[in-house]
Structure 1
Amino acid sequence: MVVEGYDTSPPREDVEEALKKHFASRGIKLMHVSVPVDYKCRNRRRALIYVNGECEAEALKLDGSYVGGLVSKKKSNVGGRILTITAYPFDDNSLEHLFAPTSDIDEYRQHTLKVRGFDTSLSLNDIKKMLLRVFPGSDCFPLWDGSALLYLRGQYAMDEALKLSGGSVEGFKFAVTEVLPETVMETGISLATARTLP
C-alpha cells in the first residue's frame, strides 16, 4: 500500500514509527514501513506499507484519517496531517514512477528480516543453505530458536520476501515475523552540511 500526507520533516525512522503506531492504534499490525529517502537524505512524501492480506481492507478504511501529532523518540512532532492510502499490490507497477527517484539508493539499502517456519530438526547449516537457495545474493544467520535473520539488499528483494511470507518455501511454511529497524549511523554531521556534500 502507498501512504502519503504525513509530515516529511522529522527523521525517517521517526516517521516510520509514527505510521506503525497510527495503524496499531486501529488494531492493524504492519509487517513493514518503508519511507524512501532521496539522494539529499530527505524523506519522500510517499511511503510503502506492508500489511497481511486479511488486514488490507481495515488499512484502507484509514484513508482520510488524521495522524494526530505523535511525538517521536527524538521529540520531533510527527503528524497533524490527513493520510491518503492507496492499495498497491506486489504485482502492480503503475506507481513505480513515483518511487524512481529513490530506486538507486534503495537498491543498496540492507534490510534485515526475522523469518521462521523451518523444520526445527534441520541443522543450522541446512537452514542457511535453504535460505540462500531461495534468496540468492543474500546472507543469513540461523538462530537456535528455529528462526533466522535474513539480510537482503534492495527493495525488490524485500518485496519478494514479504510476498513469500505465509506461503510454502521448499516444503516449509515460510513466515516473515519481523522486519528489524534499519541501523542509522550517527555521523556527527548536520543535515545542512550533508546536503552541501557532493
Structure 2
Amino acid sequence: MNLTTAIFYLFAAILLGASLRVITARNPVHAALSLVLAFFTGAVLWMLMQAEFLAISLVLVYVGAVMVLFLFVVMMLDINFEELREGFWNYFPVAAVVAAIMAVEMVLVLVAPGAGIKDMTAVAALPEGVSNIKQLGVPIYTTYLLPFELAAVLLLVAMIAAVSLTLRRRKHTKYINPAEQIAVKRNDRLRIVKMQAEVELPPAAEPTDKPAA
C-alpha cells in the first residue's frame, strides 16, 4: 500500500463517519457542521483524483454557499425538531432498504473490471498543456448546456423559497412598521393636560379623649 492509497482510505473513513454523524446528530446545527466536514473530505478525494476544479467547486459552492443557506434556514425557521423526530423510526425500514441498494451499487462499481484508484488516476491524467478545467467546461457549455441551465434555475428557486420561508410571521412575535413610525405626529403621541396646583392643607386638629369640664 502506497501513500496515496493510505490517504484515500483515511479520508474515506472520515467521510463515512461524518456522513453517519449527519443523520444521527440530534442537534441540526451539529448535523450541518458534520456535513461541512464531509464536503471538505470529499474535496480531498477529488484532489487525489487530480480533479482540482471539482474539489475547489465543492468547497466554494457547497461549503461556502449551500451550507450557509442550510444553517440560515435551520436557525431562522421556528421548527419543532423534537416533533419531527417522533416518526424517525417509522421511516427507518425504508431508509435501510434504500441505503442497502446504494451500498450494493457502489460495491458492484468498485469490483467491476477496470475499477480502482490506480485506474481512476490514470483516466484523470491529461496530456501536457491541457487542463482538466477545459476538459470539463467544454462539455458543460456545449453538450450539457440545457441540463446545466435547468440546475441553475432549480438552485435559484430553492434559494428564493428558503428566503421566503424565513419571512413568514410567527406567533407571539411583535413587529414594527417603519413607515408607521415615520408618519407619527406629535399630537398623536403626546397630550398636554392642565392640572390645578397642589395646595398644602393645614394639619387637622388631633381629637382629645378628655371629657369637657
TM-score interval for Structure 1 and Structure 2 normalised by the shorter chain: under 0.3
Asked which structure has the greater CA Rg, the reply is 2
With a CA cutoff of 8 Å and minimum separation of 6, indicate the structure with the bigger relative contact order: 1
TM-score using structure 2 length? 0.21
Q: Which has the higher helix share?
A: 2
Normalising by structure 1, what TM-score?
Answer: 0.22
Structure whose residues are more often strand by fraction: 1
